Each structure stands twice: as C-alpha cells, then as structure tokens.
C-alpha cells in the first residue's frame, strides 16, 4: 500500500471520479469535514471495501456520493435506522453516518436517541450549521436563540437542542464537538471515534454562509469563519470558569459553545451484548452469567 502524504494522493485514493467538484456553496464547511474524515480513515488504514457510508437528506448527506466506497443515501432522518440494519446484517462492516442537524436532531431525533441508548456500533458525524441550508434556510432545532431564519424572521425564541449533551446523557461511548476551523483536533477525534466500539458521535460546527451567515449578518466568509473561533471555548475551560470563575468571566463565556471531548467510555456495544445473548440462549460457552448462576443453584 502506498503511504499517503499529500492531499493529491488522498484525493486519488478516496474520491469518486466524475463527482467533483462538490455542490457545496462557497465557504461551506462540509467539504472540510469530509477531508478530516478522509485523513482519519487514512491514518487508521481501514479497508474501504469494508466501510459503508450512510446518510439521510440534506447538504451533509451528499457526502457519501463523493467517496469511492459503498454508500447509502436514505430517506430523511432515517440514516441511523438504515445503518443499524446494515450492521445487523453484516457485523464485519464499519458504519460511518454523515448527517446534518436537521436530519439528525430534527426529523431523525428519535432514531438518534435510540441508537445512542442501545450503544449501536457506529460512528455518527453530525455537521451542525444551525439551519436547513438545502431547502432555503428554515429554522433548525439547533439554531441559537435569536437567530434569523426564513421561518423565524423576527428571531428564534425556541431554546436550541444540545445534541452532544443528549448523547452524553444517553451513555454513548464517545461524544465530541469541534468546529471546522482547526484541523488537527477534529482529525484525531474522528480517528478515536471510528476506532471506538459502540456509539460514537462527533459534532462539527460548520459555517453556512449562504443560508445562516447571510441572514444573521455574520459578514463575509472570513468573518463568518472567525465567528466560530470567537464563539467557542474548550469544554475544560468552560467547566473551570463555570465552577470557579468570577461573575464577569461567567457572563463572558455563558453563551459560547463548549467544544472538545464530552465523553469517552468503553462500555460494550449492542452487538457485543447481542452475541453474549445468543451464546447464552443457544447454550454456548459455560462462562455466561446465567449458566454460572444455574450451577450454583444446583
């Protein structure tokens, strides 16, 4: 195998011919997320024939089409449900799901919740741009308070959905949130998430200059990208300030988005538990807990 060192070699290895350039708008963060995922896959050295990409509907869900691997472009919000089916049918496959905020937190919220609760063996890469970009800028469930959208012309009054804290509460094995503006931390984070058994979520805060930035007066592409730098804070710093900081510091960081690794566990995934169940019921190995209990009772 040729070692990949430059982006040109990476492109030749992973990208599907004839699909490029992408349909993404100027300054969109989705292509960056795709690149980070490809670098993480390259560092892991996974066999692309054993990797399946699934996606729902939306800008982010175009991404499996650009990768030279098996992909599934499913119905709106159901990417995680389809991926569960793929994993159940063939547990050898590695599942990566690209999904957007509307796809994952909006219409597919319940699928997401239950996949995280069951600790399904898959990696969800959620690209959060705070808006339904492809359909013209409707209000997304993750949109910050006061943001303008076509369906919220006077400002959003609904508190946003914090998908990372939701996944953390549900006991997902790996939960992280990053912005697209810094490359190295997300690449490592995606690598960790992919190599983790069980449910892992990496949320990316991605700029959407066309639908979100333009309506919310965030300025041009440069200013919009800087907005992400200025309005995020590492979760360690955030927690330290919230616990021990002064009132002034707390007021400053109150509305920022905490980024970083939220949760890193090693709980058994769904399919590990399922194999144990099959072993137990079919009378497999004597080490299973129920059998041992039965022996004690005798």
Q: Which stretches of the chain bind another protein, using CB under 8 A?
A: 6-8, 10-11, 15, 20-22, 24, 26-32, 34-36, 39, 180-181, 183, 221-222, 225
| Residue placing its CB nearer to another protein in the complex, 181 or 195 | 181
Q: Taking every pair of C-alpha atoms in the chain, what is the biggest distance, in angstroms?
A: 75
| Residue placing its CB nearer to another protein in the complex, 53 or 262 | 53
Structure tokens at 236: 């360690």
Residue 119 zone, left/alpha/beta (φ > 0; ψ -120 to 50; rest): left
CB of 23 to another protein, least distance (A): 11
DSSP 2: P
Question: How long, in residues, is the chain?
Answer: 298
| Residue placing its CB nearer to another protein in the complex, 62 or 118 | 62
34 with 76: CB under 8 angstroms? no
Cα–Cα dist 190/167, whole Å: 16
CB of 253 to another protein, least distance (A): 24
DSSP 136: T
Cα–Cα dist 175/264, whole Å: 7
CB of 76 to another protein, least distance (A): 24
For every residue of 6-57, which 3-state class applies, written as one string? CHHHHHHHHECCCCCCCCCCCCCCHHHHHHHHHHHHHHHCCCHHHEEEEECC
CB of 106 to another protein, least distance (A): 24
CB of 20 to another protein, least distance (A): 6
| Residue placing its CB nearer to another protein in the complex, 165 or 181 | 181
Q: What strands, in cross-sheet order, belong to the sheet with 199-205?
A: 70-73, 51-55, 94-100, 122-128, 199-205, 174-179, 257-264, 232-234
| Residue placing its CB nearer to another protein in the complex, 29 or 258 | 29
CB of 61 to another protein, least distance (A): 17
| Residue placing its CB nearer to another protein in the complex, 21 or 289 | 21
């Amino acid at each position: 195998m040729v070692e990949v060192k430059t982006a040109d070699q990476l492109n030749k290895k992973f990208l599907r011919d004839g699909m490029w350039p992408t349909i993404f708008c100027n300054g969109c963060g989705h292509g960056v997320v795709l690149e980070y995922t490809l670098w993480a896959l390259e560092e892991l050295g996974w066999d692309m024939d054993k990797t399946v990409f699934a996606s729902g509907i939306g800008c982010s869900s175009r991404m499996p089409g650009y990768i030279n691997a098996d992909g599934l472009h499913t119905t709106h919000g159901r990417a995680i449900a389809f991926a569960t089916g793929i994993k159940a049918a063939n547990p050898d496959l590695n599942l990566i799901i690209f999904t957007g905020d509307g796809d994952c937190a909006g219409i597919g919220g319940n699928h997401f919740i239950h996949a995280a609760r069951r600790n399904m063996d898959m990696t969800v890469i959620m690209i959060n741009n705070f808006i339904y970009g492809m359909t013209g800028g409707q209000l997304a469930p993750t949109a910050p308070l006061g943001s303008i959208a076509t369906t919220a012309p006077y400002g959003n009054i609904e508190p946003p959905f914090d998908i990372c804290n939701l996944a953390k509460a549900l006991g997902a094995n790996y939960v992280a949130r990053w912005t697209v503006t810094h490359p190295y931390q997300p690449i490592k984070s995606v690598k960790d998430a992919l190599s983790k058994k069980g449910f892992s979520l990496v949320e990316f805060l991605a700029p959407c200059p066309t639908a979100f930035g333009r309506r919310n007066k965030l300025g041009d592409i440069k200013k919009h990208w800087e907005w992400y730098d200025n309005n995020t804070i590492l979760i360690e710093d955030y927690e330290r300030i919230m616990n021990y900081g002064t009132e002034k510091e707390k007021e400053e960081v109150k509305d920022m988005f905490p980024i970083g690794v939220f949760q890193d566990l090693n709980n058994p995934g769904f399919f590990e538990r399922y194999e144990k169940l099959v072993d137990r019921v079919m009378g497999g190995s004597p080490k299973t807990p129920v059998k041992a209990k039965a022996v004690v009772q005798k």
